[in-house]
Chain A
Amino acid sequence: MEKQELIEKINQVLAEEFEVEQSVITPDADIRETLSLDSLSLVDMVALIEEQFGVKIKGTELSSVKTFGLLYDFVFERM
């Protein structure tokens, strides 16, 4: 999967699951703020990424994945 295609797919599944407009998901935006994630719904995001893209974000890695741009990189590098 090309990176742009991956980005579009990630944006699509996150927007659908967390009920936000895709337009608010930008590379520099904070994931937790944009998707209104608390400690529980953050688990759902991790599960969704694992389910859809086969990439597991471990607890220790999660704190460094702050923006959508960092998430795209994280997933693309491990696919």
Chain B
Amino acid sequence: MEKRVVITGMGIYSCLGKSLDEVRQSLYDGKSGIIFDPVRKEMGFRSALTAYLEKPDLKGQLSRNQRAFMPEEAQYAYAATVEALRNAKIDQDYLDAHEVGLLYGNDSTADAVVKSVDTMREKKDTTLVGSGAIFQSMNSTVTMNLGCIFHLKGINLTVSGACASGSHAIGLGALLIRNGLQDMVVCGGAQEVNPFSIGSFDGISAFSTRESDPTKASRPFDRDRDGLVPGGGAATVIIESYESAVKRGAPILAEILSYGFSSNGDHISTPSVEGPARSLKAAINNAGIDIRQIGYINAHATSTKVGDMNEAKAIIEVFGDHKPFVTSTKGQTGHEMWMAGASEIIYTMLMMKNNFIAGNLNFENPDEDSAKLNIPANRINAHFDTFLSNSFGFGGTNSTLIVKNL
């Protein structure tokens, strides 16, 4: 028999704040986390816009040897996971005594790779890259670090699905629990925030160049959008079977009703309408609900011309006359890429639990397609109990999660 999958803890480290409380307030206030980074301009970037967040100071929390293996995205993921476990009322004794899994979205660790290669080229001596370089340089760096730090003993692997990585990680974790293969999985997404990691992305003219007004640059669904703004950090969601949550008296926050996925099988960077629409339909079918129960859609919309347009078309195709509220929180955060699918579940959970929807920042004028969606430009007080969250990525990978309030 299939098991119900519930969310019992969340933690976040993002440009909107270093805790759930800070992030909730930033969402409520419509704060932007975007800045102009002069270092990127010196490096020859077309756009020097980025989300800004400080690196966590983990000295005193983790040993020198543990920290040596952690690139920035693993540090963000650690901070988010500490908060999520605490909120889920899970201590180290529980983790030691149970087979808890770990599925985290991550699709690059460029900073560590670039720095170790630079050292090898300059010094001609591999010893000088240090013992941490190999562990920092692998794409699975987040899961290998968290698995060892928290002594996790269940499934342990990184999900690399481009900008849908975090969403796929949660979806796959939910499938494992639904089928009885795990009782609890620590899921999430992490994204490094440094120039090396996205220089090549800047090179394909994907980023907004509205450098004179950084907080206005990320403008999903707006007629005058001119590209995305890169962001990052990490977000952790603790998911478990309903039985497990009840048994240990955990705070049950919401239920993951379904995971839909699809692949465009088409262009490597240009998204389609048909692929995402299939992902939405799959999630709705798997959830077994009427679409009218969905009160809010957290869109993938990254502030690119074609991406936002095609997502709007897909939503219109699938939802027809039903017009739930739709926003993209990327207006505030920029595109958190590998992390986005997980962080946006948390942003939406915070809004759902606090009865508001953050305004779609910088949505000043609709285009032909976004005009057909119900997009609040400013914060509204609204109650919704079921939401849908989209994440799409390069290579045409699509993921959709539907979550219900409990």
Contacts and interface: CB of A to CB of B under 8 A. Distances in A.
Contact of B130 (A18, A38, A43): A43
B43 interface: no
Interface string B118-148: 0000000101111110000000000000000
Contacts of A36: 63, 65
Interface residues of B, number: 12
Contacts of B132: 44
Contacts of A19: 59, 64
Q: Is the interface of A mostly helix, strand, loop or mixed?
A: helix
Interface in B54-92: 59, 63-65, 68
B105 to A, nearest CB: 27
Contact of A46 (B64, B68, B127): B127
Contact of A47 (B59, B65, B128): B128
Nearest to B135: A40
A62 to B, nearest CB: 11
Q: Which of B59, B63, B125, B130 has the most CB of A within 10 A?
A: B130
B131 A40 contact: yes
Contact of B128 (A17, A40, A41, A50): A50
B197 to A, nearest CB: 24
Nearest to A36: B65
20 contacts: A17-B64, A18-B64, A19-B64, A36-B65, A40-B65, A40-B68, A41-B64, A41-B68, A41-B131, A43-B130, A43-B131, A44-B68, A46-B127, A47-B129, A47-B130, A50-B125, A50-B128, A51-B128, A56-B125, A56-B127
Interface of A: 17-19, 36, 38, 40-41, 43-44, 46-47, 50-51, 56
Interface of B: 59, 63-65, 68, 125, 127-132
